[in-house]
């Protein structure tokens, strides 16, 4: 889902790039460093958002979780 969102965001930002120079000074309309930076930050946030709950869940004993859910 993260890669899908990243792809949609990159396409949307490419379409909206004409408004970028009027909103942010010092950034060209097709600045590759800006696109790459946003993609890296978005990917890192997605991976962190998936990793932290998975790490916590992996610490739970499956037998105890099933037993607690059955009660």
Domain extent listing, the chain: 2-70
Q: Per the structure block, which two tokens stand in for 62?
A: 């499956």
**% pLDDT > 90, the chain:** 18
Q: For residue 55, is pLDDT > 90?
A: yes
Predicted local distance difference test score (pLDDT) of residue 9? 84
Convert 10-62 into a string of H (helix), E (strand) and C (coil).
HHHHHHCCCCHHHHCCCCCCCCHHHHHHHHHHHHHHHHHHHHHHHHHHHCCCH
Q: Residue 44's pLDDT band (boundaries 50, 70, 90)?
A: very high
Helix/strand/coil for 31 = coil
**Tokens 């993609």 identify what position?**
39
Predicted local distance difference test score (pLDDT) of residue 48? 93
Predicted local distance difference test score (pLDDT) of residue 5? 85
Question: Do residues 34 and 27 lie in contact, with contact meaning Cβ atoms separated by under 8 Å?
Answer: yes
Q: Is the pTM of this model over 0.75?
A: no
């Amino acid at each position: 889902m993260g890669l899908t969102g990243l792809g949609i965001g990159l396409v949307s930002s490419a379409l909206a790039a004409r408004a970028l120079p009027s909103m942010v000074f010092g950034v060209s309309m097709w600045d590759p460093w800006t696109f790459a930076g946003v993609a890296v930050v978005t990917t890192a946030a997605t991976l962190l958002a998936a990793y932290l709950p998975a790490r916590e869940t992996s610490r739970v004993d499956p037998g105890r979780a099933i037993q607690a859910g059955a009660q």
